[in-house]
A and B are shown apart, each in its own frame.
Chain A
Amino acid sequence: MPQSDKLILNVIHRPEMSPEYSETVMTQNASGAAQDRALMRESLDIFRLQQEIAHKNGIKTTIQMTYGSLFCSEAVAIAKEHHETYGDEIALTLLGLPCKQFKEKYKTGEFCIWMFSKEDKIAIIHDVFEKFHEQFGFYPESTGSYYLDAWLINHIKRRYPSVKCAVATCFEEGPKAYHTCNNSWYTLIDGGPWNPWIPSKQNTHAPAANAGEDSGIVAIPHISRDLIACYDGNGSNFGTHPQNVLRGMIYKDGKYPYLFNLIDQYRHLATYNRGFCYNMMFVGPGWMNKLGRWEAPYELLVKSYEDGMAYYASLKQSGLLADMTMSELADYYRSTHTYSQPECALWRDILYGSEKQTFWYCDPFMRAAIDMNQGGAIIDLRPYVAKLDTEMGVGTKHIQDVSYPFLIQANYRAGFFTHYAGKGTIKSCKVSYGGEAADLCLCRTKAHFSDEGTARVLTLDPVELKLAGLTASVQTVFRFEEGSAAIEVRRHVLSVSEPGAKLRFSEYIIACYGTTEYPEDMTGITLSVGSGDLNKTIEYAYKCREETVENANVASAVVPQIQTRVSLECTDAERGSIREGYAFSPMFTLEMEAEKGEKETLTTWLRLAKAN
């Protein structure tokens, strides 16, 4: 559906009565209650200041009331006044639960709603929503947390159907954030979308494929992040939260053009999404406290917020931005998107000067990342098609780790480069001729995007291969057909320097499963390769076995641990292979081989399906 190309902006503020970042060992002293009162006063003042900065710039906000703030008549009064005067939405966040009333009732320091037991989740939701109703006389339309699990979203929607929008996860905040915080920050929630989506009833990360799977809300990520910098580095350094940029030390002499480049790159995503582009700014008061935040003094913290908001204002004045509340965004998103419509981002490095590009693709069946710096290798693959219905929180098997599992994660599981032995997860292609071989992972290139109706196409610039005296030009084209749960990969041989020469292509995927850097038990995985008449299988037992079938048309793996079947298909392969790994290399490989000459094309499909 055609859209406006305007950057849709959500600015979200929350009055926290005890900001989580102000409660560290660095700010504690012996004064106890007096300090608590001072902190609450300062927090409310910061909230006021944030609101003032937004309104001064003509930007409306979503005020996400915390549970603690619902007991503060001043915070409630501000929200009501700003709703009346500026059209701000009064919403309810499940962040900021800790307060005197909460601690007295639940007797815990826990503050992450998705980690509570089901019983506690039910009780807390009742408490905070009813307290909200008591103060405002209506139930909220928007809510959120760093993460909301599907069970919780379904429960909220059932009990409070007015809710239609929620902050539901952070993009790529998981083991990297945990590590950056000295292994003390338990937001293990990798693997989700980077822009708004409709979560499925089964799994928050995985978008709904149809009305039956629709959870009833539109989800937005917590912060709009840099899709290259965040994938390798600490996500909290590279977001449209202005103080993220200060945290990353990406500034000099009070200047931070990176923040505006980041906003502009999000604007550019309209090119890949039929005019839809989105940004959110969500800064808790702790990040603008008077003590300063890490190396940044208070003045710089405030300046960065003012500058960020002023830039949004300038875009709005130029007709390039529309500020919305969260509930308005939900309505707009539903009016402009279909379930099968993917979200695409051909993202470029805007920080390190590398000119690196990564293409991100997200639909109800998968999230994939393609790295042009590695010849178009798939470096991340999440099989949303499985729609894992995972119970989360205390009392379940998933207390902290709610990341959506990967089949490929080239940073957590090595990718192309390994130390001395073994394999890493990657989807690429090896090309050989005359006894020499080259992997396309070592051919840096660039990509171009096109929207072909029901398909999104990524066309890579041709790469040159030199093998045993032969020079060949090979071009790769990826095609994502809506609703197919497959990625079509074409390898075109544009030219060879010796007439009649044939290149041998080995299209392969090396995969495993997991959510962290650490290996999982591969026992139970079944590998198969077949041609229709002949099929061979390997039950994974770390024995480094291999099976090959001539003229195979499919090689596949069923990974019961994540209820996923992944297959590599080809209609004219000379042979297909499956390879088991071993304990030092707990991976599996699916491969299709064929010979192609000038003007010929090898086409394969990487297909995902639910297996249970």
Chain B
Amino acid sequence: MAQAGKGKLNYRCPSCFMRDLDIDMFYDPDKEEYYCIRCCYHGSERDVQEKNEMARFRYRDMLRRIDHWED
């Protein structure tokens, strides 16, 4: 197997992101998957995107535009 490299986008590990760690993943072209060199996460691009969506669960006001600022 040849060495891993960068994927088409520089995805971070979604599992590490959820514990406030930004770690670039590497891409294994043979297995067609991204993998984290710190934790055990590995997955396809689609899986990464799904897990990134999950990481947003805490941002309940992510899409709310606030227009009232008084105390």
Chain A residues within CB distance 8 Å of chain B: 24-27, 176, 179-182, 233-234, 247, 249-252, 255, 257-258, 260-261, 264-265, 268, 271, 291-297, 346, 349-354, 446-449
Do residues A352 and B64 form an inter-chain contact, with CB atoms below 8 A? Answer: no
Q: Would you call B2 an interface residue if the criterion is a C-beta within 8 Å of the partner chain's C-beta atoms?
A: no
Do residues A258 and B17 form an inter-chain contact, with CB atoms below 8 A? Answer: no
Chain B's closest residue to A255 (CB) is B63
For B20, list chain A residues within 8 Å (CB).
176, 179-180, 233-234
For B46, list chain A residues within 8 Å (CB).
none
Do residues B55 and A182 form an inter-chain contact, with CB atoms below 8 A? Answer: no
What mask results when residues 9 to 52 of chain B are scored 1 for a CB within 8 Å of chain A, else 0? Answer: 11110000100111110000000000000100000000000001
For B11, list chain A residues within 8 Å (CB).
294-295
CA distance A271 to B11 in the complex (A): 41
Do residues A257 and B64 form an inter-chain contact, with CB atoms below 8 A? Answer: yes
Do residues B12 and A352 form an inter-chain contact, with CB atoms below 8 A? Answer: no
Q: How many residues of B contact A (CB 8 A)?
A: 26
Do residues A249 and B10 form an inter-chain contact, with CB atoms below 8 A? Answer: no
CA distance A346 to B69 in the complex (A): 11
Report, nearest first, the 4 A-B pairs whose CB atoms are least far apart. A353-B60, A257-B65, A268-B69, A353-B61
Q: Tell me the minimal C-beta distance from B23 to chain A in angstroms.
A: 6
18 contacts between A and B (CB under 8 A): A180-B22, A181-B22, A182-B21, A182-B22, A233-B20, A234-B22, A250-B56, A251-B62, A257-B64, A260-B65, A264-B69, A292-B9, A294-B9, A294-B11, A294-B22, A294-B24, A351-B61, A353-B60
CA distance A261 to B65 in the complex (A): 6
CA distance A313 to B50 in the complex (A): 35
Partner among B9, B10, B21, B69 whose Cβ is within 8 Å of the Cβ of A180: B21
Most buried by A among B6, B23, B66: B66
CA distance A147 to B21 in the complex (A): 23
Do residues A257 and B9 form an inter-chain contact, with CB atoms below 8 A? Answer: no
Do residues A291 and B10 form an inter-chain contact, with CB atoms below 8 A? Answer: yes
Given A182-B23, A234-B20: A352 and B10 interface contact (C-beta under 8 Å): no
Chain B residues within CB distance 8 Å of chain A: 6, 9-12, 17, 20-24, 38, 52, 55-56, 58-66, 69, 71
Do residues A257 and B10 form an inter-chain contact, with CB atoms below 8 A? Answer: no
Q: Tell me the minimal C-beta distance from A131 to chain B in angstroms.
A: 34
For A250, list chain B residues within 8 Å (CB).
56, 59, 62
For A448, list chain B residues within 8 Å (CB).
71
Do residues A295 and B60 form an inter-chain contact, with CB atoms below 8 A? Answer: no
Partner among B9, B24, B71 whose Cβ is within 8 Å of the Cβ of A297: B9
For B21, list chain A residues within 8 Å (CB).
179-180, 182
Do residues A292 and B56 form an inter-chain contact, with CB atoms below 8 A? Answer: no
Do residues A24 and B24 form an inter-chain contact, with CB atoms below 8 A? Answer: yes
Q: Tell me the minimal C-beta distance from A382 to chain B in angstroms.
A: 23
Do residues B59 and A295 form an inter-chain contact, with CB atoms below 8 A? Answer: no
Do residues B61 and A352 form an inter-chain contact, with CB atoms below 8 A? Answer: yes
Do residues A182 and B12 form an inter-chain contact, with CB atoms below 8 A? Answer: no
CA distance A252 to B60 in the complex (A): 12
Partner among B23, B38, B59, B66 whose Cβ is within 8 Å of the Cβ of A352: B59
Do residues B61 and A295 form an inter-chain contact, with CB atoms below 8 A? Answer: no
Given A182-B22, A292-B10: A249 and B63 interface contact (C-beta under 8 Å): no
Do residues A293 and B10 form an inter-chain contact, with CB atoms below 8 A? Answer: yes
Do residues B71 and A352 form an inter-chain contact, with CB atoms below 8 A? Answer: no
Do residues B52 and A352 form an inter-chain contact, with CB atoms below 8 A? Answer: no
Q: Tell me the minimal C-beta distance from A333 to chain B in angstroms.
A: 23
CA distance A54 to B20 in the complex (A): 32
Do residues A258 and B10 form an inter-chain contact, with CB atoms below 8 A? Answer: no
Chain A's closest residue to B26 (CB) is A26
For A260, list chain B residues within 8 Å (CB).
65
User: In the complex, given contacts A255-B63, A257-B62, what are 11 additional A-B residue pairs having Cβ atoms less than 8 angstroms apart?
Assistant: A179-B20, A180-B22, A233-B20, A250-B59, A261-B61, A261-B64, A293-B10, A295-B12, A350-B61, A351-B59, A353-B64
Partner among B9, B38, B65 whose Cβ is within 8 Å of the Cβ of A295: B9
Do residues A182 and B38 form an inter-chain contact, with CB atoms below 8 A? Answer: yes
Do residues B60 and A352 form an inter-chain contact, with CB atoms below 8 A? Answer: yes
Do residues A261 and B63 form an inter-chain contact, with CB atoms below 8 A? Answer: no
Q: Tell me the minimal C-beta distance from A599 to chain B in angstroms.
A: 26
Q: Tell me the minimal C-beta distance from B69 to chain A in angstroms.
A: 4
Do residues A249 and B56 form an inter-chain contact, with CB atoms below 8 A? Answer: yes
For A234, list chain B residues within 8 Å (CB).
20, 22
Do residues B62 and A258 form an inter-chain contact, with CB atoms below 8 A? Answer: yes
